[in-house]
Amino acid sequence: MRAYLDNSATTPPSAAVAARVREWMESGWYNPSALYKPALEAQKRMEETRRLVLEAAGAAGQRVIFTSGGTEADNLALIGTLKSRRQPGRVLISSLEHPAVSACAEEIRRLGHRTEEIPATAEGRVDLQRLEAMLDPQVLMIAVMQVNNETGVIQPIPEIAALRNRLCPGAAIHVDGVQGFLRVETKFNAWGIQSYALSGHKIHALKGIGALITGAKAPLKPLLFGGGQEGGLRSGTENTCGILSLGEAIRTYDPAANARMRELKKRLREGIRQQIPTARVNGAAEEADTAPHILNLALTPVRSQTLLFALEGDGIYVSAGSACASRKQKISLVLKAMGVPTETADCSLRFSLSPLTTAEEIDYTAERVAAHYGVLKSYTRR
């Protein structure tokens, strides 16, 4: 049997997306900037996707810029916004961020701004009390993700926006919504944030397509220069098949799948804990504080890479953290920011589900995790 539980790294294109992409690759490949009828049809379909993105994010009346993925969207939001600021200031970045955001700090400092890290609580949420103490009129921007990609913890965006409104109303808030979009409720307009990034391949669209939502008139400078596509903010011929795959993924996403994923996540957690009582959840204890598709478990004393490779032999695919950083660092920086001891972080695995995940995959995974753990726990680390 095969069980793919690394959907936070990427998801397979859905059957609906695959069928549409095949159709569009044959008939919808025209350059949407051209003036003849087939190209105008491609442009029309592209604008429909833009509408679907705004509707799904509660961002009616705002602007969508198509990008190559979540990383480019995050970079454009952060660097593009700060390039438009004339005076230097402070930029606050959550200590829980994905590298697509945290790695921008060096470039932000090159622009003349000062970056500071927002501490996290032991449960993996931004520490609101400490954030409040950091806020003043010198803060230009706050970057906080919607759902943590390693623990699944939902960040308190409304509370952060309320603090911003009271203490530094001129500061922009950027939200990396790559793991939150469609999986948890997004209220761009109601929250009062200035930008929101998302990625297609996390929701069963193609790789190579993402989007940045910004305020309709939010100041933003481009990072790419050329033909002036996307309102002059992201030059380059649009990835029409990617954009249309994103639209199809949004259009066909079933909100009821989120409740099913949450039940399956609970089934996996309890299935493992029944056989391994010492298994510990990394992140918030309350289910309502987490996304439905991500579970991070510490299985001390078995090292995560050892268990990961053992599970791979059974056709079970999980991860030890962010796929974007897994080959570059030994210990998760997210778990470190939460104060998780090194020996615990080194024994932690991330299981991430999708609407395609089945109960059979969950039960098989729980059984194999317990079986391997029973053997491997007897071995001591050298």
Report the C-alpha gap between 292 and 185 in whole angstroms.
11
Report the C-alpha gap between 74 and 64 in whole angstroms.
13
Closest C-alpha to 94, from 167, 147, 58: 147
Angle at 225 between CA 24 and CA 85, to 5 degrees: 120
DSSP annotation of 12: P
For the beta carbon of residue 183, count every other beta carbon within 10 angstroms: 27
Closest C-alpha to 67, from 198, 241, 217, 227: 198
Contact 365, 351 (CB under 8 A): yes
User: Which pairing describes strands 114-118 and 90-94: parallel, antiparallel, or unpaired?
Assistant: parallel
Contact 205, 16 (CB under 8 A): no
DSSP alpha helices (H): ranges in the chain?
15-27, 37-56, 70-82, 99-102, 105-110, 128-134, 157-167, 188-191, 240-252, 256-275, 304-312, 333-337, 342-345, 359-376
- Is the sign of the CA dihedral 363, 250, 243, 25 positive or negative? positive
Contact 65, 214 (CB under 8 A): yes
Angle at 305 between CA 297 and CA 126, to 5 degrees: 40
Report the C-alpha gap between 279 and 218 in whole angstroms.
46
- Is the sign of the CA dihedral 229, 235, 239, 243 positive or negative? negative
For the beta carbon of residue 377, count every other beta carbon within 10 angstroms: 15
Angle at 188 between CA 185 and CA 189, to 5 degrees: 125
Query: Residues with catalytic annotation?
Result: 324
